[in-house]
Amino acid sequence: MSALDALDERQREAASVLRGPVAVLAGAGTGKTRVITHRIAHGVDTGAYSPSRVMAVTFTAKAAGELRGRLRALGVEGVAARTFHAAALAQLNFFWPTLAGAPAPSIIDNKVRMLGQAADAMRLRPSTATLRDIASEIEWRKVSMLSVDAHAGLGRSVSGVDTQQLVELQQRYEALKDERHQLDFEDVLLACAGMLEAEPRVAASVHEQYRHFTVDEYQDVSPLQNRLLELWLGDRRDICVVGDASQTIYSFAGAEQRFLLEFGRRHPDATVVRLETNYRSQAPILEAANALMKGRPGALELVPARETFNADAPTVTAYDSEREEAEGIAAAVSARIAAGTSPADIAVLYRAHAQSAALQQALAAEGVATSVLGGTRFFAMPEVRQAILALRAAAVAPTEQGFLPGVQRVLRELGLSDEPPAAGGAQRDGWEARRAILRLAEDAGPDENLRTFSDSLMARAKDQHEPTLRTVTLSTLHAAKGLEWPHVHLAGWAEGALPISYATGFEAIDEERRLAYVGVTRAARTLALSWSRSAGRGERAPSRFLAEMGTTARGTGILREMSPNATRADRRR
């Protein structure tokens, strides 16, 4: 069976071109990861690629782990699937001792702490929040490839320090790092790029090692990342970039969608393929998403992969207060779970972390367990580490119980009960984690044993392949990117919340629109949007994005208005 057999016509077109520059403009839910992995597998199967000569670059360790896992499932081992930083750090650690005659610098673990020490030397006492903002500004400066002086010339500022203080703080920060033989996260990319530019033999070695490049989420690359990519590529042309300009949501961190939008102009002979068949969402949700991005640069027109009948239109509900909004969402979620939906199939997404507390409280009051995306990772939870150690210990002295009873015994000894504790606390979180491990054991193959099972858990931890908890997911819109759920609630669609109050000017509002688009396209079957008329003592208006999605060019409605007093039966529809 060919690696291309499982692809649709456009996906197959993208995966078939193995040489030269390729740009895959992949809309939400159109199968971009499938295209990436099947394209690499096709290159290996046909002999065009040697796995060890392929580098697949993405932005998070979790995404890199998913790429490795999918490639492994296709029978491909040995591809370097890494983040930009992991790839650059590996090269620094390999070449630095030879070039400098000493180990590579260590990486600082806390930029804010070192900035605080620089501020102390200046007899400044900025708040922790101010130091965090300065750290973010340093990160933006570096990924934008600007010197301290060039950055000062832009007139960008940080509340709590003046321009000259900001310049001196950065200079002292850099001096402290040099004294301690340390690099920060962004320095890793800068140092690797500098090494490749200054050392022809290093560049030649890297060019010999890696011949073919794939870059996921290309819309999110910064000028520094793009420069490093060019240095890795050298004078070769085998590069495939994949992205969606409508999902550029990290401009504040230096991402520039122009690299994706202008790829065809920079490479006139590039193969450019548009993936617009959406395999995730029902037609009414896609209609809302398309309306939101209509006329924006690089926008794709998403079409459903299959015709759906009687699909629910997205709903919008106005509440009098944020508390009532949280309670209304919790009641709707509880009703859906009572009707038979798994909690894992439901997500509540919002613009800012501060919105999560009221939602957690309201859902706990309904007896609904939640997991906050971006919180403690599954394999970092103490209950999970404890369980893996206990399973490994049990594997050393196996009993006659058999595999599944053995797992059940270990987890029960650690506190797994038949009935879960009340929602909303650490005990319930631990119970859900142990229950997830038990479900993995229940889904294991007939030849599984305690040793192989604990080894598989360790492998999943390394690849950050986390099991699905049977909890409702709470997440910011940023953290939800790349994920999907059958049922999604989008909270806080009011002016000042989305778009957020500090987003001023055309570009900032456009970024908020793209963030809203990311939220809408997370939903597969149902989408419920809501907003509150008041926040504290202030009055709010509905988000402008609701109006943009409210009608199409034909004047027909997209969103269905809901009353906050709608019955639970209405909300389950």
* Annotated binding-site members for ATP: 26-33
Name the one residue in this structure whose structure tokens are 């750290």.
135
Residue type, 423: A
What single-letter amino acid sits at 40? Answer: I
Residues 329-359 as b or e (16 or more Cβ within 10 Å = b):
bbbbbbbbbeeebebbbbbbbbbeeebbebb
Q: How far apart are CA 345 and CA 472, in angstroms?
A: 7
Q: Strands 485-490 and 472-476, how do they pair?
A: unpaired
The Cα 236–Cα 20 span in angstroms is 8
Distance between the two ends of the chain, CA-based, in angstroms? 42
Cα–chain center distance at 364: 26
CA separation for the pair 220, 243 (Å, rounded): 8
Numbered residues of the known binding site: 26-33
CA-nearest of 562, 354, 362 to 476 is: 354
DSSP alpha helices (H): ranges in 102-184?
Answer: 111-121, 128-143, 148-153, 163-179
AA letter at 484? E
Q: Cα angle vertex 152, ends 146, 153, to 5°? A: 90
* CA–CA distance, 289 with 304 (Å, rounded to integer): 12
CA dist 519 → 189, 286, 498, 513 (Å): 31, 12, 11, 10
Q: Which two tokens stand for residue 521?
A: 């396209």
By residue count, the chain amounts to 573
DSSP state of 515: H
Distance CA 154, CA 166 (A): 13
Provide the 3-class DSSP secondary structure of residue 473: strand
From the list 82, 43, 45, 38, the residue with the least C-alpha distance to 61 is: 82
Residue 175: Cβ within 10 Å count: 12
Measure the CA–CA gap between 224 and 144, rounded to whole angstroms: 6
Give the burial string for 455-486 (b: 16+ CB within 10 Å, else e).
eebeebbebbbbbebbbbbbbbbbbbbbebbb
> 557: which strand partners?
551
- Residues contacting 108, CB < 8 A, separation 6+: 114, 177, 182, 183, 184
